[in-house]
A and B are shown apart, each in its own frame.
Chain A
């Protein structure tokens, strides 16, 4: 099995080492966003995908999570 984003060797949750780390960070920061803006997981992913402050790998993970559950 390969990472569903970049095709690299798999590490965790269907992602390679870096994308898994980005996914983990996304999960951890959701609580902060929920408190700050009272938004849903999907809205959160949308914000992250568009934010110029988000890391490249994080944006890629947000993108794929959104496309998997439109």
Chain B
């Protein structure tokens, strides 16, 4: 294949799309070199499109022992040389190098953002040796027209600003991550002689710190009592609940006194206040906003939304999702997208309605992204059966949001009816849609409940059926959920739109947080406490915000990179020295917390027999078999025990068997469906025979 063009794409699906778009007959030849696919297109010469599979190169320590810190010497390596599970990258790099041999023109066709630019740069530099002469394709969607346009108007060189910023971010993160994670892991190992991977980093640290801070605020919360007064009134034969004008009364005697003076007195409609409000259309989706909306509407975790959006992008159904823009520029051709969408029966009425407008002006937010516009549907319709559950919902949400941003504002009427009872004011609140506007385009995702009130006149008498005084207490701040944590991370500017979801996942996998409510475990608390004490700058969002600013600077002035890296090392040096001098004490608290969460993972619930012990998964020293036993056994107080399956992993479910009240366990076995089990063989659910057998045995 002499003199061909070599395009490096970020993923196989993207490579195929690029090849299809660029081939003159839209039918590129598909090849495979071992497990690595690549595509051959014909367009005034041969074009080979070869995919990467995310990062093929990574930062790692260059020389020295792997089990020590501090380490400041690093290099970029092929991942297969430094990561255990990355052997597959070897074949990938070899294929790309082979295809580069006879290539004449080199093009980076990865996604146009920091990570994409870095993936392409590393491959072109290390696998092809041509980063200095390579050109860049710039696109936001994988549609045929945009890819063709991007190929026709290539940028003359790689986007070195983005590349250097990406490299520096990886290197800074490596410096913080490797040194502080090793400090934690080695301290724990020093005391317990056991290896438990513990990690922290520039983004992980402050994120865990937020969660731990909220956990502390909840655990140390003292409620305050207050009272809420309600009058149940009857208007036109229907009952309504009117609230006292002062929402919270802080003294019980005051609340009781008001009830006393109002009791048995008639009510009068004192005043009716009507206000008309405009509710503007929503903003186009940026990545964080899409993740939050998908969490609230469908319960998708940010990571799930991220991977679904990625698949929709690779199928050319939506634009590049990892964007922070809230703008929909005219260049994306709003009208054309709506025309394409109108081919779908589902969206036709709304799309045609928008197309009938003389001018299409989207509602836009302030946020901008130099590389990509806000997320929008490309107008391509999915083939039947292409989209799975989840993908269908997210695509529908993106399409409807796109249409809603072009629609009129909704008009809402709010109504407040003030009722006087013995000169004390109670009010009824209502709201009603006057004109649906964009609500029609965003159904069923609109969150608006109408509260309709009767049509009444001032001065009318009202029947007061009863008066109520409700005891209330102030509540602790709510726990974070994936949606609110993402919002917090965005607000504090920690992490990037692409990394936030993964960071949350890492906190789970390191056992720093647990359950959907993101409760911080004992280990999570200890780690954040150690960091707050020894590296307070790491847990503060200020550091990560500063790094993001430095990235912006490097994008403009790539030569500042060395300065920024040196600053990082100078910051770390004294911190690591201090951590090393306290290995013993840090190790002690860490290994205690590790033991505690390991024990916690074995507890399946409370013992129903002795009521004070906990049921635990234990392994018999004699037989090596595992079973459920009560913690009070060792004090000779309780002998409750149940057998367990010997294969697979056992996990507590925190659920109680409905038939016998014993805590249930989850059995996970490879290639088998997870199985929830009541460990008691005498459980009535398991049938009489077994029960009788067990009773006989006893």
A residues engaging B (CB < 8 A)? 17-18, 21-22, 25-26, 28-29, 32-33, 35-38, 48, 51, 53-58
Interface centre among B220, B223, B476 (most CB of A within 10 A): B220
Task: Tell whether, in the assembled complex, residue A54 and residue B221 are in contact, meaning their CB atoms are under 8 Å apart.
Answer: yes
Asked whether, in the complex, the Cβ of B220 is within 8 Å of the Cβ of A58, the reply is: yes
The reply to whether A36 and B224 form a contact with Cβ atoms under 8 Å apart is yes
List B contacts of A57 (CB < 8 A).
219-220
How many whole Å from A21's CB to the nearest CB in chain B? 5
19 contacting pairs across A/B (C-beta < 8 A): A18-B216, A21-B216, A22-B219, A22-B220, A25-B221, A26-B222, A29-B222, A32-B224, A32-B250, A33-B224, A36-B252, A37-B252, A53-B473, A53-B474, A53-B475, A54-B223, A55-B219, A56-B219, A58-B219
Q: Is B295 an interface residue (CB 8 A)?
A: no
Using a CB–CB distance below 8 Å, which chain B residues touch chain A? 216, 218-226, 250-253, 473-476, 529
Chain B residue with Cβ nearest A22:
B220
Grouping DSSP codes into helix (H, G, I), strand (E, B) and loop, the A interface class, with mixed when no group exceeds half, is helix
Q: Given the known A-B contacts A53-B473, A53-B474, A53-B475, are A18 and B219 also in contact in the complex, defined by CB atoms under 8 Å?
A: yes
**A residues less than 8 Å from B476 (CB atoms):** 53, 55
Least CB distance from A25 to B in Å reads 5
The smallest beta-carbon distance between A52 and chain B, in angstroms, is 9
A55, B250: Cβ atoms under 8 Å?
A: no
**Is B225 within 8 A of A58, CB to CB?**
no
Residues of B near A25 (CB, < 8 A) are 220-222
The distance from the CB of B405 to the nearest CB of chain A, in whole angstroms, is 41
- Please give, as numbers and ranges, the residues of chain A lying within 8 Å of B225 by CB-CB distance: 33, 36-37
| B223: chain A residues within 8 A (beta carbon) | 48, 51, 53-54
Q: Which residues of A contact B219 (CB under 8 A)?
A: 18, 22, 55-58
A17, A35, A48, A55 — most chain B CB neighbours (10 Å): A55
Known: A18-B219, A53-B474, A55-B218. 20 other contacts (CB 8 A): A18-B220, A22-B220, A25-B221, A25-B222, A29-B224, A36-B224, A36-B252, A48-B222, A51-B223, A53-B223, A53-B475, A54-B221, A54-B222, A54-B223, A55-B219, A55-B221, A55-B222, A58-B219, A58-B221, A58-B222
Q: What B residues does A26 contact at CB under 8 A?
A: 222
C-alpha spacing A33/B474, complex, angstroms: 12
**A41 nearest CB across to chain B (Å):** 13
- Residues on B with C-beta less than 8 A from A17 are 529
Q: Cβ of B218: which chain A residues have Cβ within 8 Å of it? A: 55
Roughly how many angstroms separate A29 CA and B252 CA in the complex, as a whole number?
A: 16
Residue of B nearest to A35 (CB): B251
Closest residue of chain B to A44 (Cβ to Cβ) is: B222
Bound Cα distance A9, B475 (Å): 29
Residues of A contacting B222 in the complex (Cβ-Cβ under 8 angstroms): 22, 25-26, 28-29, 48, 54-55, 58
Bound together, the chains give a CA A30 to CA B184 distance in angstroms of 40
Residues of A within 8 A of B224 (CB): 29, 32-33, 36
A28 to B224, CA, bound (A): 11
- Complex: A52 Cα to B645 Cα, angstroms: 38
Which residues on the A side are within 8 Å of B529 (C-beta)?
A: 17
A46 to chain B, nearest CB (A): 13
Whether A51 pairs with B251 at a CB distance below 8 angstroms is: no
